[in-house]
Structure 1
Amino acid sequence: MNQPFMQRIFYILAVIILMALGGCGGADNKKGNARTVSGTVLVAANTIADSDTHDRNAPQISNSTPSAAQDLPNPGTAGGYVDRSTGDIDDYYLSFLNQNDDIVLFLADATNADLRLTLLKFDPNSQQYTIISTSDNAIQPQIEKVKAPARGEYLIQVEAVRGQTNYQLSVGQGIAPASLPANDFIPGEILVGYTPSVVGVTTSLQIGGYTLKPSGHDLGTSIRSYTLQRSQVTGILSRSSSITASETLQIIKQLRQRPDVRYAEPNYRYYPLAITTPNDPFFASQWNLSNIKLIQGWQQVGAGTPVEVAVLDSGIRFDHPDLSTRFIPDNTFSTGHAGYDFLPAGEGQDGDGPDDDPTDPGVSSFTGSTFHGTLVSGVIAAETNNTTGISGVANTAEIRLLPLRVLSSQGGSTVEICQAIRFAAGLAAAGGHTLSKPVGVINMSFGTPSFSQALQDCISQARNQGVILIAAAGNESSSLPIYPAAYPGVISVSATTLNKDLASYSNTGSTIDIAAPGGDTTQDLNNDGQPDGILTTAATNNNGIVQFGYVYATGTSLATPHVTGVIALMKWIYPSLDPQTLDQWLASGFLTEDLTPASSGPDNRFGYGLLDANKALTEATSAAGGTPIVIPPLLTATPRAINFGATIDSLNLNLSNNGAGSLTVQAPTIVYQSGNNWLTINSMADSNGLGNYQVTVNRNGLLPGNYTATINFGSTANSVGIPVNINVPRVDINASTGYVYFLLTRATDDTVTDTDSGLPKNGRYQFSFSNVSPGDYHLFIGSDMNGDNKICDPGEACGAYAALDQILAIHVDQKSIVDIKATTAFRLNQRTLSLAYPLPATSSP
């Protein structure tokens, strides 16, 4: 199906036209129609590269001895390469660590190589480095880990015991969970356990100016429950009386002095244990779930009605181990699961046309499918509590996915998307298949700037069937509408970062309805040694072999399925939820945390606010006639730890109430574990102390090293402590992924048309291609640390414009393009998506 360029619909957004406007574009190239394409590539913060790799074009500076160790910021990440056979056996790094900091080594190829991680410390007596600890993990050989026993400067050794491999070395600190309310009890109520000789105590007790009146509860022969009242007040006081917790504790202290009392204690409160976290091993890295209060919201999820969620995207990998149980079983479909591929012949890259197999084939080149549908589906419904991978938002087994393939590496079209929407709504057949009832929710993580009345009509038809439609707002940092998110009847989702700020790439505007986590892989604000992206299910296709793993991805494409998953849970609890009711609840604030309390109505950045799963699922429970589990007020900080690294000076900290009821926050205090007076806090919070705080650091006067402090907030509910980390480097450490290559390829077939390469300056790479003919192009960035003449092998730096999971075409027209921006970072096949691409044989610095 060959349609005009601007009429096609793409991943958010798989193609964007970059046209130089007045004052922005470079001068025209006077030689024919050739133009210049140039720009900047940013490096993830606190990243350095091994200075002696196997790349023949890169400058080589040995770090193979302790005296030649490279400085590694804390927290920070180093990407490197070691080879037992060539003599590059050891890489050494020097880092200032805090007590209990983790040093973690990830191997890119644990099958053909074995690495050893050693932590050493300088002994002033012997004037030598001594071994503190060594990791040689035979059980999980792709990961080596040691821990710093005390604060100080340490030497870190990466040693090739066998073979050769790329690696990623990360330094960071563990994050403590938010604290639960401690010693919570009901004021005015006391339990007394008497000695065995005392039986049948049924009378009131007088202690000071108070009366303890038996409450009448049968707790056994020698246990009595009393209600405390002041002696001048008649009757039994209710739980809402003015008896304070302090008064209650004073009376208990006096009761304990009596010889006939074995114990006296308050009437403690107890809370549901469902607040415990899942056993999925990567759950601790899913900050996005706690940001939307999902752990609290899960407590509302009990018995319900099955819900089906249609994911209109690039298809799916039914065989991903964290997704394989989450589809609709149906043996009338060739795959054994309901789903459909609407792509026409020649576009689906699976060798056929429309059929009932929506499997995403993936291809070996960059611009083939990035398994986008698998990324999105993992956020919605990755299996929870299966000791595998991650946790999906919709944690109930009977919420199942209906994958509908409408996007290929070339995008999709209005026709395919309309067909899929109508099929999901139960309005049309596909290949002889029909649905017995409409799905509950449709997820659409794609868009175009072009308005289509036909697509609007299809959306309206589905909405009239009771289907709720969710779509991504777009990643162009623009206020222009993107469709289908901007259509009436569709919930439009913008993206936020870990600290609940608007993501820099997220679109804005009057059509935004709600915000959800989209992440930012250029940051590590929570100091866990990993990028602050959304961790989700992923796959790679390397030379026809599909492998499964997990990826840190970003974008409104990833924000959208958070909303979809929560709404699916709402439908599970309250099957009668329809689009009109949801619109009313959204406008009433029943689904969101208000991030802009000073303004009234929806905001152009966050709509009605950040998705709040606990509020949404509590509302659904009430609407279904159930009794919501009341979670007590719980003060929560986001992020739970703050990492300023070596270059950041100011960050926002958000305090929120992740429970019900109200709480009041007290003024913060700062406890310095090292250094003094380098931290200041400016409140932008509301009258209860909830909201944003600006945290600023001042490195002036601090000696090189790592400094830590704790910001403590007390409240009427509980207290939280937020660890803060800054680094003052011994030398000026600028972010770098080493020597990288820039490939400009034709968008149609990814033939390389030009290359550039080089090192960064001040954490930024500059690239430029001259004599570029008009047309559509792709840009890829990557390193070649293992010297195999390919960039983006597992463990190497890799990036693309605009991102690896959403590759955008650069449209060269009448003017040069000089302001392209992209990012690059080290990527591992275990936790991050990496693809291989051959370098031109003639590539050179």
Structure 2
Amino acid sequence: MRALIAFFVLSPWMVVLAGCSDSSRSDIEAPQGFVSPLSGAISIEANSRIDQDTMDQLRREGASPAAAEQKLPASFVLAGYVSPNAGTYPAPARACQAQDYELDPSDTFSVPLAVGETVVLKSFGTCGLDVALELQVEGYPPIRTSGRDETAQFRLNAGQAGDYQVVVRSVGDMPARYVLLKTAGTAQQNAAYEWPDHGFVEGEAIVTLNESAAASEQVSVKGAQRGAPARKLGKRTWLRAMPTNARAMAGGQKSPDTLAWIRALREQPNVESVVPNYQMRSQSPVGEPLYSKQWHYEIINGPVAWQIEPGGGAGVNVAVLDTGLFRKQGSSNWHPDLDRNVVAGRDFVENDSDPRDPGSSIGGNVYHGTHVAGTIASVIDNKGSGGVAFGANLLPVRVLGEGGTGSSADLIDAIAWLVNGSSGQPPRAQIVNMSLGGLPEIPQLESVIAAGVDKGMLFVAAAGNGAGSEKSYPAASRNVLAVSAVDSARNLASYSNYGSWIDLAAPGGDAGRDANTDGEADLIWSTSAVLKSGQYEPDFRGLQGTSMAAPHVSGVLAMMKAQKSGLNYGDVRALLERGELTEYSGRRSDQLGYGVLDAAKAVSAASQGFTGPVLSASPAVVSLSNEGIEAQRVELNVYGSAPVTDASVDSYPAWLQVNGDFSQEPLILDVVLLRDRLTPDVAARGDIVVSYNVTEQLRIPVIGQLITDEKARNAGKHFVLLVGTEPNEQGVYLAEAQVTATVEDGQYSFQFEADDGEEPRMLSEATPGDYYLVAGTDIDGDGFICQSGEACAEYPVSGLREVVTIQAGQSINGLRMTTGFSRPTISAASPDVLPRPAFKGYRLIQTSDRVASTNSNIKALQ
């Protein structure tokens, strides 16, 4: 998208800017004898800090790794560099340049820690190479980075609050970038530290028309494939194909061309929203013979639940949206421990009525959907393994294909099929298990899930195995129960995601533990298939993952539905927040949500019936600051059939102003931060207490901060670049001009120089043309900025670059950007952000190609 930086001359001395938002306004002048064609300033995100010995410091003559520990504040996001040796980068064209790197085996910090607080380390390899880092907190054993996004985390569960020595150490062979972060208090950040790179189907888009356009089924979308079938996914939503001529023009650049086509579709007046067809993935890596291995049923108090609900969820349909079910070649029957409970399903990958899992040539055959289905509802037959809801019906819906991946269009279509039933009948399933994820927030997916909830359906999804806090959908959807995984000791599993969006936890297994001392790893055992004599036969196997945790919850919900058929999401939500579904400590956590699933408590709560009412706050925790949100509207949702009476705000912290409107549902609280009543740089905490129905109370945790660390912020030495708007043949964005900026009072200033046409051309000289304006750090010295783990700023907003046009004889002054180590996410708050497939950052100009500039009015050689 182009930022129309233009002006109208009103007088010889006055100009007016058009097309810029308030957050990035500039003044454009036609000065006499001007020096800079473009200049501005870069603000720094709160709590940003930089390692004291990155390559920016180590490349200086005589420099060596820092010997003293670096003191950090109570909340921080720090970027750093470590390397086990010195050497030269191998320099593949897309990943880095042939630059030298220096030895820096470890970094040492002093970090204030209180009980319940967590330090998180995220590592990123340089030049696309694998790395291994270690996080060690004083008095505790080291923890290695692990998981898909290479994360290690330490939580102080007990002990003395105080300053702890924290060491980040390289234990690999190559240099690494990293981000070390901590937030004061127990709440953890949900920020992303890598560019969004969600996979999507080439040449396809999910298009939602506005109400007026959708009224006519004959409406066309310009730029959609003529003659190709438009697959309807919902009331106003279609899956569209890219025109053939555009595909032909794309050549080897299919991903960028698909994204460009989507941007064009978004400009059409009859279109409400357009998103890629994102790809998702599976979230994995009593008298039954295998019961001795199924420790996880004891963890959730399963045996007691089965006494309360001896039918095991009979009559309840549980849809398993997954890879399908195993069926032996040449057989008409499903896995023998599932067959009796299976009802007719559907395959949305092949678009037929046979949801058989054909296996996978990628990564081996784990028969993921079969394993998940077995945990939910494998039968009791004294031959294998029983499921949580052993009497429930399994409705297999295949939405994942080769390699355990699938498309968001298939997922949306499958849920719509379940929700709409047939010929006006009720939904095909009462419970929907989704042991899959990795999607961004997609409006069309949110809409179809909400439609199911309106019809009484319950949705459960795996939180994901990235060991991070970034939201993974559909688990993070408002109407879905997000399930994290615990090991046999009821601790968060090392691989499990966590965050403010987690609702509850369930056993997911841990290959590194043997808590029941049976000589085998504590995996989740369930139905599967193994290769015997050249063909796959039905069998059982142990797996670990949040994919294995989610079906425990789905099975328990099925038993609850059998006890109370009218149980809906509002009821479940109310019971969850009252602590009636879990081992609840009295306060939710980002690791376990409202606690570890307790099947006996949950089924008992359903059997006793529930009228409520219960109030639930959205958002559940209010966080206000002078640099973030200073005012928040909180909705109080009513769960249960009984009405809310006598609602009032009893108390709240003195540093808040709270006004309530309880005249209709949802009840509303308007919360405003009072800055002058806060202590600078100290996180204030308290509760807003709402009383109702005489004896009931709702406590809403609230955090207030007056952040004054602006002058202490430092994101490292910044390179400010004007880059071409199109990448080269290797997909790399190249700098056309660059200047350096160092922090001063918590911000950076920059200015470019006009190209005077004379040689030598300096790095800072900019010629008229179209550019992206970007800035960032190169802390590992590989010749690229804005890689994961490095600070990055893009004009006007990171993730939403706009073209800046430099014209001869004009000067653009006062542009503003914000830099930081986090990256934009695709969400309801930023729906226009699109993925950046294989984005490697912006390549710096090699100083051997140009002459550095003093940024003065005189052309000088350095």
Please give the TM-score of this superposition, normalised by the length of structure 1. Answer: 0.39
Relative CO higher for 1 or 2, CA cutoff 8 Å, sep ≥ 6? 1
